[in-house]
Amino acid sequence: MLLALRSLAAIAATAYASAPVNAAADTPLTPLAQEHFIVDLPHYRDPTPISFGMYAGRMPLPSNGQEMFYWYVESKDNPDVDPLVLWLNGGPGCSSLGGMFTELGPFVVESDLTVKLNPYAWNRKANVVFLESPAGVGFSQPQLNQSDYNDDFTTDRIAEFLEQFLLTYPSLQQRPLYITGESYAGIYIPYLVHTLVTAKATPHQQQHPPHHHGRRRGGGGGFTPRFPSINLRGYAIGNPFTDADIDGNAYMDYFYAHALISMENYNDMVDKCESEIGQCMFTSVNCSAPCQAAIDEGIVAADTAYFNPYYIYGDVCLLSNNQADMLHFRKRMDYQPMHRGKIEPCTDKYTEKYLNLAVVQEAIHVKTSSGASPLFAWADCNMDIAEGYNRSLSALPKYKTILKHNLTALIYSGDADAVVNFIGTERWIASPNGLHLPVTQKWKSWFGPDQQLAGYTQEYQGLTFKTVKGAGHMVPIQNTRTRY
């Protein structure tokens, strides 16, 4: 897009009408869409007027009464025909509004909490929806018991949200849909795509009246909608956590290759761990004491509290004392990356302050069921969900099905990310203990619009793999011009 990001999505702005009329074919908006139309964005100070429509609010889910918060921005280029892109941040437990304001969305929050345009936003060529998922993350409500959170449950609720979203915005029905995300979305997205493609292929056993398109069996799984309005064309995942063993076992290979640990530390781990590093890093299951000790020594030597593992060449945000603690990332993925590349390192903290302003929450329709608009405590990541989430250890079984459906698929890796690095990603794509996909087009360079080397790419049967030169865990942040 240049990564399929060019074809999936791309960047920056569309018809921001003063009255709530859907840009697509001037279709009158549904009542909920009218209610969610954003009339004015507080603290906007960019000299260029906003020229694209925006909608935000909580989408009720008929199956269980949860309300999923979303922010939908129309395409600047041609909202009538441009594709629909769903963006999911990882965690698990982190908000996609973090990705919206610090990576690929149309706006950036400055240190004085004013808002300016991001010239490289993906809504330049796509209609983009940022969804806070699962419930309890960001403005999505309510938070559930920790035992309720797992990937089947999260997938079911995202699928149900998509149905309700397309009922609310019918002009987007049958629009080409691309599902995108990063980090733990390496689990979310294969699960979601698997749900969509298998549901399409399976006859639905129960007809539902309008606005009630699904049912839920116990335990959080089993949502089997027909998805008549969803036209899934592909998916793209950046630095995707996909398999705990394969990704985890590449951890210290990357550290050593990038001069973050010594040869002695590395050899000690090789001697004591064999293939245990993944278990020790992410699960603590089948992790021997000697291996754990060797890893701990390596992490101490790398001084991980003071470098940014999400972007090893970047700075860390020093606004508060707990930021260093957030970078102790073992057994966690994508909690709070601190580096924002050409965007300031502390932009995520500015975003948090901005979204906690009462005037902003009123503008984006953060309301209770009674219609009141209290100040709601928004955070980039919900640590209770992250700690208690019942995580899947691998998404590889889902790929065995979804690769049969001829979808456009892009897996991309910023090569400066130590957390979910390109070494592990290549291994789960190509190695015998991964998908073992055959190569259809050999490794070669690819270039950005400025004709500078942007990274390397290799085509496999069913998907494309790309590295992005100089980018970290959140690829859209660094070297933004090559990402659209």
pLDDT one-digit tens code per residue, 21-37: 454 456 788 999 999 99
Q: Which residues of 363-389 are buried (b: 16+ CB within 10 A; e: fewer)?
A: bbbbbeeeeeeeebebbbbbeebbebb
Domains of the chain: which residue ranges?
Answer: 5-244+392-483
* pLDDT score recorded for residue 205: 47
Distance CA 330, CA 291 (A): 14
Structure tokens at 379: 């955070």
Right CATH number for 5-244+392-483 from 3.40.50.1820, 3.90.1150.140, 3.40.50.300, 1.20.58.1180? 3.40.50.1820
Q: Which residues of 81-99 are buried (b: 16+ CB within 10 A; e: fewer)?
A: ebbbbbbbbbbbbbbbbbb
Asked if residues 166 and 230 have their Cβ atoms less than 8 Å apart, the reply is yes
Cβ-in-10-Å burial (0-12, 13-18, 19+) of 280 comes to buried
The more confident residue out of 332 and 179 is 179
437 pLDDT more than 70: yes
> How many CB atoms are located within 10 Å of the residue 346 CB?
20
> How many CB atoms are located within 10 Å of the residue 457 CB?
20
* pLDDT score recorded for residue 128: 99
Distance CA 481, CA 23 (A): 27
181 pLDDT more than 70: yes
pLDDT tens for each residue of 292-347: 999 999 888 888 777 788 888 877 765 443 333 333 344 433 333 333 333 455 66
The more confident residue out of 450 and 167 is 167
* pLDDT score recorded for residue 112: 96
pLDDT mean across residues, the chain: 83
Model confidence band, residue 85 (pLDDT cutoffs 50, 70, 90): very high
Q: Give the helix/strand (H/E) hosting 412.
A: strand 408-414
pLDDT tens for each residue of 50-64: 999 999 999 999 998
Radius of gyration of the chain (CA): 21
Q: Which of 116, 119, 132 is nearest to 364 (CA)?
A: 132
Structure tokens at 440: 């259809």
Asked if residues 154 and 188 have their Cβ atoms less than 8 Å apart, the reply is yes
pLDDT tens for each residue of 89-114: 998 999 999 999 999 999 999 999 99
Q: Give the helix/strand (H/E) hosting 161.
A: helix 151-168
pLDDT tens for each residue of 365-401: 997 656 666 678 999 999 999 888 999 999 999 999 9
Phi then psi for residue 116, to 5 deg, are -130, 165
Provide, rounded to the nearest whole percent, the portion of the chain with pLDDT above 70.
Answer: 80
Average pLDDT, integer, range 350-357: 94
Structure tokens at 52: 């694209």
Asked if residues 163 and 63 have their Cβ atoms less than 8 Å apart, the reply is no
13: alpha, beta or left, given left = phi > 0 and alpha = psi -120 to 50? left
Distance CA 93, CA 389 (A): 8
ω into residue 134 within 30 of 0, thus cis? yes
Model confidence band, residue 129 (pLDDT cutoffs 50, 70, 90): very high
Average pLDDT, integer, range 346-367: 90
209 pLDDT more than 50: no
Q: Give catalytic residue positions.
A: 183, 417, 473
Contacting residues for 3 by C-beta, under 8 A, at least 6 apart: 236, 410, 412, 466, 468, 475, 483
Single-letter amino acid code for the residue at 221: G
Model confidence band, residue 212 (pLDDT cutoffs 50, 70, 90): very low
